[in-house]
Amino acid sequence: MKTSTAVSAPVIPGHDVLAILAACGGRATFLELRLAAAAAFGHSAYYGNCHGDLFDFDGLLVFLESKNKLVRHGDDVILGPAPACSGD
């Protein structure tokens, strides 16, 4: 979910989640990635993109998929054809 609410906690760059996925060999289940992100950044972390939009974890994955940064196949999350940050 994208949010417009100001948050008091640090905002984690979305590419940090892509780095976790890359460290998993470029593929993980949705739950594995969620748990790894929660372990690294906390369960209530907010994530941001280069434009300052804020997302919860689920919203971030929707955003990253829309930008071809990752692909979801069933429960699997795989690095997409454009995994590098391109400023969009």
Helix, strand, coil fractions of the chain, as percent rounded to 5: 35, 25, 40
Ramachandran sector of residue 68 (left: φ over 0; alpha: ψ -120 to 50; beta: rest) = left
pLDDT of residue 9: 72
Rg of the chain on CA atoms, in Å: 12
Mean pLDDT of the chain, nearest integer: 89
pLDDT digits (tens, 9 = 90+) for 21-51: 999 999 999 999 999 999 999 999 999 998 8
Q: Which two tokens stand for residue 26?
A: 């470029």
Range with lowest mean pLDDT among 45-49, 53-57, 62-66, 84-88 = 84-88
Where exactly are the structural domains of the chain? 2-79
pLDDT of residue 50: 87
